[in-house]
Amino acid sequence: MPLINEVGKKYWKVRMLLVVITVFLWIGVGLHLFPVYWAFMTSIKTRYETYSFPPTWWPHKITFASYTILFKASSLYKIMNYPLLTYLKNTLIIVGAIMAIQIPVCALVAYALSKLHTPKWNRILFLYLVGPMLVPGVISLIPLFLLLLHFPFPTKHIPTLPFTNIFFPHIKIINTYWAVILPGCYSAFNVLLFKGFFDRIPDELINAARLDGASELGIFLRIILPISKPIFAVITYFTFSGTFNTFMWPFIVLKEKTWPLAVIMYKMQHTIFQYYTENPEIGGSMAREVGPNTLMAVSIIQSIPVFIMFIIFREQLMKGIKLRGFK
Amino acid sequence: MQRKEFNQLKKSVISDIRQQKHRKRAAWLFSLIALIFVTLFGWYPLITAFIVAFQEFHLIRPSVFVGLEHFRLLLFFDWMVPLVFRNTLLYSGLSIGLTFLLPIIVSILLMEMRKNVIRVMMILWFIPMASMAGIILWKWFYSPEYGLFNGILSRLGFPMLQWLRDPRLTMFCLVLPGIIMYGPGLIYIATIQSIPDELYEAAELEGARFWQKIWYITLPRLRPIIAVMLILGIVSRMQTFDLPFVMTGGGPNNAVMMVVIYIYQLAFSEFKYGRGTALSILLFAVTMALIILQRKYFKENIDR
């Protein structure tokens, strides 16, 4: 609700205030749009023009070479070893798998906590499920890495099965997609959000369905799911943008062949800024067209999926975010 | 007659018990997968961390228990540790001090706009750049030779700056994007919209002015969510990695060397897993101390 009422708008002082607020807000919008504009403009400049100083506000010569070059691996010597499609595919696999596993898992456990467990178990399980969230994630960074080297043991000294010489079964998860997917399959934060929402669904609704003879899974699928669309939208969007943007963990546990987009972008910018900007002569030995324009082209490409997701979930987000379960 | 009633009661009790059983089974089935995941990838690494931190950890040879040796080395003999903690605290302080209030202010002011204007603004505001794309773009803005900022400075006749390459400026460069790119927070908007209109109407009858309404109604209502966001903000900023790592890799002369970057270096370029884990436990302790302080001085609910 606007705090300035219609009567107040008669006074010029109040009106000035309103103008100031409006200008302030629109400037903020402009500042947010500018990087997108700048990235796009840089991406359609020629490499030569990106190195003009001071930089030009719009390209003198429009070229889409920076986009086409990304899909040909051979031309990107030393910058990326595979064509961009490989990294897009990796991102799709990782993000898709995490979302497909994490969201149902979290929703089901939150529903069980909220409606099915007895109060005693409820308290114990809740602490057990949310506990790891209270500790900063960086603590499990190194141990998790060690564990994934020969899961489920942190060292190479794997105990043998009792009374035999056979090693305990263990597998190496590192350098496969699973190294990123498995730790991402559960999120305590999402359980909290789901539980906050499910707690406010009246029990009578579920009991009525039980009297009609519906199974518990049936109740969840047919009654709870349809009324929880907003919270699912919120969580889907945040899980997507969260996993899509993670850089550190994939960077540590994966090899280039399985890198998602964010990691290859790190490597690209490292090489390009290092060689092309600081020592342009060395850069000359690499592909002629590659420079900051390529980098900005990848940035635009990376931003598109996030934008699409926002457009898809916009209505539900605005609605779902109003839920006070968000705490 | 009595017999019939008794039978009915019996039937309903039996079906009730059966339902209870069903319910219990469903409850555990629904929780099973999550429990497996939280055990294997939540608790297990956490417990391992507290073992590894007290060992001289080797991947190939057997590890040796060394007690508090790592902590002793880190606290008293490693000159990097005070530096990285100073940097991390400075960054967290600057970032929270300069950028934490902005989304709250913007969200409150946004409510003054007309409904459809809010809609348009929100959509434009949330045209997002993916985070890595944003970091790289800002790095390009900062480029001393070809960047936009130096371009503007030179056009205006000011001396050009070295930005990320100047150790005195690097920390400021990390915080600057958060200040310039101000915008509303979805959570704040949601909470503000859930405040009942009657409160404002009542205040209006009492003759409350614009600022008074914000100060006495909106802000107290936002207080719980602000407290939560503050904790989340502290925790995430203490663990900052991506931004300084991608922009400078720790910075000229270690100017933005953060704790997590140092942990990363210890573990993955020097292979000192034990010491890295010990440092992460130190970081945990410092973060906890900050949170306890915050909870002491910023009460979640003003009424209590």
A184-221, pLDDT tens digit by residue? 999 999 999 899 889 988 888 888 888 888 888 899 99
* Inside any domain, residue A1: no
Please tell me whether residues B116 and B208 are part of one structural domain: yes
* Inside any domain, residue A7: no
Which is nearest to A305 in space by CA: A254, A251, A261, A252?
Answer: A261
Q: What span, in angstroms and rounded, lies between the C-alpha atoms of A135 and B46? A: 9
Please tell me whether residues B230 and B132 are part of one structural domain: yes
CB neighbours (10 Å) of residue B8?
10
Using CB atoms within 10 A of its CB, is residue A85 exposed (0-12), middle (13-18) or buried (19+)? exposed
Residue A146 has pLDDT above 80, yes or no: yes
Please tell me whether residues B88 and B182 are part of one structural domain: yes
Which is nearest to B213 in space by CA: B186, B222, A324?
Answer: B222
Residue-wise pLDDT for A151-189, tens only, equals 888 877 777 777 777 788 888 888 999 999 999 999 999
Q: What span, in angstroms and rounded, lies between the C-alpha atoms of B274 and B103? A: 40
Q: Which residue of B has its CA nearest to A245?
A: B131
Q: What span, in angstroms and rounded, lies between the C-alpha atoms of B163 and B179? A: 16
Task: Say which CATH number the domain at B284 has.
Answer: 1.10.3720.10
Please tell me whether residues B205 and B146 are part of one structural domain: yes
Q: Work out the minimum CA distance from A302 to partner chain B, whole angstroms.
A: 6
* Inside any domain, residue B166: yes
Q: Work out the minimum CA distance from B199 to partner chain A, whole angstroms.
A: 11
The pLDDT value given to residue A322: 56
The pLDDT value given to residue A144: 93
Which is nearest to B117 in space by CA: A306, A308, A18?
Answer: A18
* Inside any domain, residue A94: yes
Residue A325 has pLDDT above 50, yes or no: no
Give residue A224's identity as a one-letter amino acid code. Answer: I
* Inside any domain, residue A103: yes
Q: What span, in angstroms and rounded, lies between the C-alpha atoms of B34 and A188? A: 10
CB neighbours (10 Å) of residue B294?
14
Residue A326 has pLDDT above 50, yes or no: no
Residue A205 Cα distances to A108, A211, A232, A289, B28, angstroms:
17, 10, 19, 63, 21
Angle among Cα B197, B201, B203 to the nearest 5 degrees reads: 120
Place of tokens 């997968």: B33
Cross-chain residue pair A298–B133, CB shorter than 8 Å: yes
CB A252 within 8 A of CB A179: no
- Beta pairing class for B64-65 and B55-56: antiparallel
Q: What span, in angstroms and rounded, lies between the C-alpha atoms of A44 and A48? A: 11
CB contact, 8 Å: A211 with chain B? no
Write out chain A residues lying below 8 Å of B58, CB-based.
Answer: 155
* Inside any domain, residue B160: yes
Q: How confident is the model at residue A324 (pLDDT cuts 50, 70, 90)?
A: very low
* Inside any domain, residue B59: no
Place of tokens 């292979």: B271
Q: Which of the residues B136, B248, B264, B284 would you substitute to probe the A interface, choosing the one with the greatest number of A C-beta atoms within 10 Å?
A: B136
Residue-wise pLDDT for A12-27, tens only, equals 888 888 899 999 999 9
The pLDDT value given to residue A178: 94
Structural domains of chain A, count:
1
Residue A81 has pLDDT above 60, yes or no: yes
Contacts for B247-254: CB closer than 8 Å, 24+ residues apart: B247/B135, B247/B138, B247/B139, B247/B142, B247/B164, B247/B170, B247/B173, B247/B174, B248/B164, B248/B170, B251/B164, B251/B167, B251/B170, B252/B164, B252/B165, B252/B166, B252/B167, B252/B170, B253/B167, B254/B80, B254/B83, B254/B87
**What number is the average pLDDT over the span A257-281?**
80
Write out chain A residues lying below 8 Å of B41, CB-based.
Answer: 140, 144, 182-183, 185-186
Q: What span, in angstroms and rounded, lies between the C-alpha atoms of B123 and A31? A: 14
* Inside any domain, residue B97: yes
Residue A254 has pLDDT above 60, yes or no: yes
Q: What span, in angstroms and rounded, lies between the C-alpha atoms of A194 and A224? A: 11
Please tell me whether residues B166 and B23 are part of one structural domain: no
Mean pLDDT, chain B cut into blocks of 10 residues (304 residues total): 75 76 87 93 93 86 85 92 95 93 92 84 82 93 88 90 88 92 85 84 83 88 88 92 92 90 93 93 94 83 53
CB B26 within 8 A of CB A217: yes
CB neighbours (10 Å) of residue B47?
12
Residue A132 has pLDDT above 50, yes or no: yes
CB A150 within 8 A of CB A156: yes
Structural domains of chain B, count:
2
Residue A102 has pLDDT above 90, yes or no: yes
* Inside any domain, residue B63: no
Report the mean per-residue pLDDT for chain B.
88
Report the mean per-residue pLDDT for chain A.
85
* Inside any domain, residue B119: yes
Q: Work out the minimum CA distance from A53 to partner chain B, whole angstroms.
A: 6
**What number is the average pLDDT over the span A260-270?**
91
Please tell me whether residues B193 and B143 are part of one structural domain: yes
CB A240 within 8 A of CB A98: no
Q: In a 3-state reduction of DSSP, which class is residue A150?
A: strand
Q: Work out the minimum CA distance from A163 to partner chain B, whole angstroms.
A: 21
Write out chain B residues lying below 8 Å of A24, CB-based.
Answer: 109
Q: Which residue range(s) make up the domain with A99?
A: 73-320
Q: What span, in angstroms and rounded, lies between the C-alpha atoms of A261 and B31? A: 33
Q: What span, in angstroms and rounded, lies between the C-alpha atoms of A2 and A92? A: 43
Cβ-based neighbours of A326, under 8 Å, separated by 6 or more: A193, A196, A234, B187, B190
What sections of A134-289 are H helices per DSSP? 141-149, 178-181, 188-198, 203-211, 216-219, 225-227, 229-245, 248-253, 261-271, 280-283
* Inside any domain, residue A81: yes
Cβ-based neighbours of B283, under 8 Å, separated by 6 or more: A136, A138, A139, B88, B238, B239, B259, B260, B263
The pLDDT value given to residue B133: 93
* Inside any domain, residue A58: no
CB contact, 8 Å: A207 with chain B? no
Please tell me whether residues B155 and B46 are part of one structural domain: no
Q: Which residue range(s) make up the domain with B40?
A: 2-52
* Inside any domain, residue A51: no
Residue-wise pLDDT for A47-69, tens only, equals 888 888 788 888 888 888 888 88
Write out chain B residues lying below 8 Å of A302, CB-based.
Answer: 130, 132-133
Q: What span, in angstroms and rounded, lies between the C-alpha atoms of B229 and B233? A: 6
Angle among Cα B47, B50, B56 to the nearest 5 degrees reads: 130
* Inside any domain, residue B116: yes
* Inside any domain, residue A34: no
Task: Say which CATH number the domain at A205 has.
Answer: 1.10.3720.10
Element (H, E) at A97: helix A84-111
Please tell me whether residues B184 and B282 are part of one structural domain: yes
* Inside any domain, residue B258: yes
Tell whether omega for the bond before A143 is within 30 degrees of 0, i.e. cis.
no
Element (H, E) at A302: helix A292-320
